[in-house]
Amino acid sequence: MSTIQTLIEQVIRPDVLAQHVYAVPSAAGMIKLDAMENPYGLPPHLAEALGRHLAGVALNRYPVPSYARLKQQICRHFGVPAGYGILLGNGSDELISLLIMACSKPGVCILSPVPTFVMYKISAELAGARFVGVDLKPDLGLNLEAMLAAIEQQQPAIVFLSYPNNPTGNLFAAADVERIIRAAPGLVVVDEAYQPFAGASFMSRLPEFPNLVLMRTVSKLGLAGIRLGYMSAHSALLTEVDKVRPPYNINVLTEATAEFLLDHIAVLDEQAAQIRAARSSLREKLQRMGLEVFPSSANFLLVRMANAEQVFAKLQNSQILVKNVGRMHALLADCLRITVGSPEQNQALLQALQRAL
């Protein structure tokens, strides 16, 4: 064995050695409908004005770690309740990881319905926590009885609820979420990454529940590239989690871009409205092709079909990249997750699907 291999096995944790790299397939030249990105860029006049704005940013300076102006704008634009602050993350991925890190006492449990967003489990296990997944029902709704029983038995420090859920797209019943928040002995994170498409939120209900943590991101709204997430909760809790945050985790370009675009948020809101309209139309057309399409409150559709593996491969040959989730969980057998794109992209998808089925 080479020296480096011996060295690696000596120093790297065995659970890390056993893990696979989070694989992101190359999408060069493809219609990219795999990652819930907004298909629209910024209008040219806005992109140019942003460029001029960014030219004035002092790249030689560290960010000011209070991020006061950006936080104020986010609170105002996204309805954070009065008296509630936020913590910023390098994507909400980082916030998930920071919160888990802050709570990871030896033997701690992190619990979530499954299938769901994979980062809850990945971050939990990296932090040395035990991840417990509770299966959804076959219709992909929350199994409330099983959730309550598991919470009682496992006493999780954190319950993660993706609301709407990724990769299923559905919104769990608000009454069920409320029951879970009341039953949980620890924190309950309601992850609203898809809030722009959902028409439902727990944000305004933060003051009702001291153990409720609300997470959001600007990624699905159209700014996945700048990596910015935010989290709100009782200020005393935020103070503790803030101790785990690297002080300069939001870089100056992200900060300046977000500040600039939040002053033009109507552009992104309008794009989200177009995506919501395209979602209904795409859903109908897929159903008319005889496919099973699950209800979605997000900017993607979960679709079940015979031979999903082959269809996935044929779509790829037609330069269309969707996400094959069939092997993620038994409940998702024969399912593809398809991001809602622009009308042209959706048309191309439908044509390629027609040929592939």
Ligand X SMILES: *Cc1c(COP(=O)(O)O)cnc(C)c1O
Residue 6's CB is within 10 A of a number of other CB atoms, namely 10
Give the whole-angstrom CA distance, residue 298 versus residue 36: 9
Tokens of 116: 């769901």
Answer for which of 104, 168, 195, 219 binds ligand X (CB under 6 A) is 219
Give the whole-angstrom CA distance, residue 71 versus residue 94: 17
221-248 as b/e, with b when 16 or more CB fall inside 10 Å? bbbbebbbbbbbbbeebbeebbeebeee
Site string for ligand X, 46-85 (x = CB under 6 A): ----------------------------------------
DSSP 118: T
Stretch that binds ligand X, among 91-99, 105-113, 168-176, 275-283 (CB under 6 A): 91-99
Tokens of 142: 């929350």
The SS3 of residue 213 is: strand
Please name the amino acid found at residue 37. Answer: E
Answer for which of 166, 257, 297, 346 binds ligand X (CB under 6 A) is 166
The SS3 of residue 320 is: strand
Query: Quick one: 170 or 217, whose CB is closer to ligand X?
Result: 217
Query: Quick one: 220 or 283, whose CB is closer to ligand X?
Result: 220
Tell me: does residue 191 bind ligand X (CB under 6 A). Answer: yes
Query: Quick one: 231 or 353, whose CB is closer to ligand X?
Result: 231
**Residue with CB nearest ligand X?**
91
Tell me: does residue 196 bind ligand X (CB under 6 A). Answer: no
**Contact status, residue 136 vs residue 167, Cβ threshold 8 Å:** no
Tell me: does residue 230 bind ligand X (CB under 6 A). Answer: no
Stretch that binds ligand X, among 9-17, 88-96, 199-207, 283-291 (CB under 6 A): 88-96
Please name the amino acid found at residue 259. Answer: E
Phi-psi region of 196 (alpha: psi -120 to 50; beta: other; left: phi over 0): alpha
In the complex, minimum distance from the CB of residue 112 to ligand X, in angstroms, rounded to a whole number? 10
In the complex, minimum distance from the CB of residue 217 to ligand X, in angstroms, rounded to a whole number? 3
Tell me: does residue 162 bind ligand X (CB under 6 A). Answer: yes
Query: Quick one: 93 or 255, whose CB is closer to ligand X?
Result: 93
In the complex, minimum distance from the CB of residue 221 to ligand X, in angstroms, rounded to a whole number? 10
In the complex, minimum distance from the CB of residue 228 to ligand X, in angstroms, rounded to a whole number? 7
In the complex, minimum distance from the CB of residue 93 to ligand X, in angstroms, rounded to a whole number? 3
Give the whole-angstrom CA distance, residue 284 versus residue 272: 19
Tell me: does residue 217 bind ligand X (CB under 6 A). Answer: yes
Tell me: does residue 193 bind ligand X (CB under 6 A). Answer: yes
List the strands of the sheet with 323-324, edge to edge: 292-293, 300-304, 335-339, 323-324
**Contact status, residue 94 vs residue 250, Cβ threshold 8 Å:** no
Site residues (vs ligand X, CB under 6 A): 91-93, 117, 162, 166, 191, 193, 217, 219, 224, 229
